Amino acid sequence: MSVISTGDGSPTVFSEQYGVTYHSRHGAVTESAHVFITAGLRYKAVLRRELSVLEAGFGTGLNAFMTWLEAERRNLRVHYTGLELYPIPDSALEQLQYAEQLGAAERQEDFQRLHQLDWEQSFDLSDNFRFEKKRSSIEHFQAAEQFDIIYFDAFAPQAQPELWTPEVMAAMYAALRPEGVLVTYCAQGEFKRSLRAAGFSVERLQGPPGKREMTRATK
Ligand SMILES: C[S@@+](CC[C@H](N)C(=O)[O-])C[C@H]1O[C@@H](n2cnc3c(N)ncnc32)[C@H](O)[C@@H]1O
């Protein structure tokens, strides 16, 4: 694993195993803000202040950290669950100075805390943010109507076809509450057919820089 800089100046991790980066090379923070915070969290926060979020692929923790900061800014109450099978090593974590990138340099320790906390336990990190990491595989995760939002952020279908299947999308559908949404940077046709087969209504939205489209799917 190595850490590289992306188009907006924020860093991301390159996975040697899968031959892909954890975020868009056009801008890691920009992509997370566009796909997950704006199209997912802010979209749902218009109607509800208490939201539960599932992230499939916790990775660097950037989406989780940005969600925490956004929950505080908007005074939301977010219960966040991140799934991850292969945590990033400390050597990579030390190079991810996301707090400064996000204009919250004093919060870098909070960002690191997300990685240091024990697995399979829930922590109230502030009045606005309850956080839990699960060392579970995305393809075997099962939950019943627990989440309002899923950030589906696995590596792309070319790298991990087994995570974008009709079966996994059916499990994601089951995990969402009615009206819940799944957001992802991926807009591949076969993936969208899997979403529809699972019962989702599928929207095409404008993608982040470097990508024409992204997807939001509603239960
Ligand atoms: C695109 S990266 C996630 C980026 C992350 N959301 C972030 O903000 O940094 C995909 C993540 O999925 C994890 N992953 C890959 N296969 C997985 C599996 N079968 N189950 C759970 N996590 C998996 C990888 O280790 C990686 O951290």
| Residue 4 lies inside a defined structural domain of this protein | no
Q: Where are any strands of DSSP class E within 159-212?
A: 176-184, 201-206
- Which of 138, 183, 186, 211 should be mutated for ligand 1, with most atoms under 8 A from CB? 138
| Residue 87 lies inside a defined structural domain of this protein | yes
Give yes or no for a contact between 172 and 153, defined as CB atoms under 8 angstroms apart.
no
119 lines ligand 1 (CB under 6 A): no
Q: In the chain, how many domains are there?
A: 1
User: pTM higher than 0.75 for the full model?
Assistant: yes
Q: Whose CA is nearest to atom 26 of ligand 1?
A: 59
Give yes or no for a contact between 142 and 133, defined as CB atoms under 8 angstroms apart.
no
Return the SS3 of 203.
strand
Q: How high is the pLDDT of residue 17? A: 86
Q: How high is the pLDDT of residue 37? A: 98
| Residue 16 lies inside a defined structural domain of this protein | no
| Residue 14 lies inside a defined structural domain of this protein | no
- List the domain range (segments joined by +) for residue 183: 27-218
What is the CATH classification number for the domain harbouring 155? Answer: 3.40.50.150
60 lines ligand 1 (CB under 6 A): yes
Q: How high is the pLDDT of residue 34? A: 98
| Residue 22 lies inside a defined structural domain of this protein | no
| Residue 212 lies inside a defined structural domain of this protein | yes
85 lines ligand 1 (CB under 6 A): yes
Q: Whose CA is nearest to atom 12 of ligand 1?
A: 57
Q: How high is the pLDDT of residue 66? A: 98
Q: How high is the pLDDT of residue 1? A: 85
Low-confidence ranges of the chain (pLDDT < 70): none
